[in-house]
Amino acid sequence: MTDPTTGWAMRETLPAIPRSVPLVRRAVARLAADAGATGAALEGVRLAVSEAMSNVVVHAYRDRDEPGPVHVGATVTGDRLLVRICDEGCGMGPRLDSPGLGLGLPLIARSVDALDVHHGDAGGTEIRMAFSLSAFSTKSGR
Amino acid sequence: MNGAGEDDVPFVVEVADDQGGTSVTISGELDLSTAPAVVATIDGRADASGGRLVVDLRDVSFMDSAGVRLLMNLDLRARSEGRELVIVRGPGPVADLLDICGIPGRIRTVGDVAEL
């Protein structure tokens, strides 16, 4: 299947380790800032990307000894920032031993304009997020 | 990918004991990659002077749910030791996140050290 991120401004594959979380968050935030995002819109991008990346690091490869890859794509089209984060892990599911508080997805949901989570082509989880880069049309975070 | 940038403030955790208890001052971005360092730094000072535990977030430039989880864990731990956790939250997105997650209803949260 065609890679949906072909031609996107940012396409990276990193190991699903904690250190990758700030790297991706800063890179995507820089893309958003360069496109004019400020204030609550920019903070929403930072938070949602951080949560999505953390989900991959914490959950995707918990059945393996070594962490696998996380594929990140981001691009700006018009007034929208599109971000795609996917892994090749065991897929998202209920987890009784989750180390988190279940805050990640709700925090993502309140930061984005559109959110799509599904099984990816690579067998893991794919999350697609769309953000409005205009502060006026983005949720203020409250 | 170069993760460095003007927002790449070095992550620093400072712990100080005073007559009122222990103060933990965090600077930089608090996320999955840095939260363990906070626990490790506090554990390294396991002398647990007693009194309250103050976590100062005023110089935290970014925080996500890993920081919220850290605060919840520190609160549970402080309670088990008979101590009170107090968060100094400062202004901005970090304070907004605490509000969104309902932290002020669970952990005593002040806007500045003057309110301690």
pLDDT tens digits, one per residue of B30-74: 999 999 999 999 887 756 667 899 999 999 999 999 999 999 999
Which residue in A29, A50, A103 is closest to B31 by CB distance? Answer: A50
To which H or E segment does residue A123 belong?
none
The tokens describing B109, both together, are 């949260």
pLDDT for B76-106, tens place per residue?
999 998 999 999 997 799 999 999 999 999 9
Confidence check: pLDDT of A1 > 70 = no
State whether A104 and B65 contact (CB < 8 Å). yes
The tokens describing B23, both together, are 């103060």
Share of chain A above pLDDT 90, in %: 77
DSSP-derived secondary structure letter, A135 = G
Confidence check: pLDDT of A137 > 50 = no
Q: Which pLDDT band holds residue B3 (cuts at 50, 70, 90)?
A: very low
CB A29 within 8 A of CB A42: yes
**What is the chain B residue with the closest CA to A55?**
B32
The interface pTM score, or ipTM, of the predicted complex is 0.90
pTM: 0.92
Confidence check: pLDDT of B5 > 90 = no
HEC letters along A64-115: CCCCCEEEEEEEEECCEEEEEEEECCCCCCCCCCCCCCCCHHHHHHCCCCEE
Residue A12 in contact with partner chain B when CB distance is under 8 A:
yes
State whether A22 and B96 contact (CB < 8 Å). no
Region A64-74: mean pLDDT is 96
**Predicted local distance difference test score (pLDDT) of residue B7:** 56
**What is the chain A residue with the closest CA to B93?**
A43
**Predicted local distance difference test score (pLDDT) of residue B19:** 76
Cα–Cα distance measured from residue B50 to residue B54, given in angstroms and rounded to the nearest whole number: 12
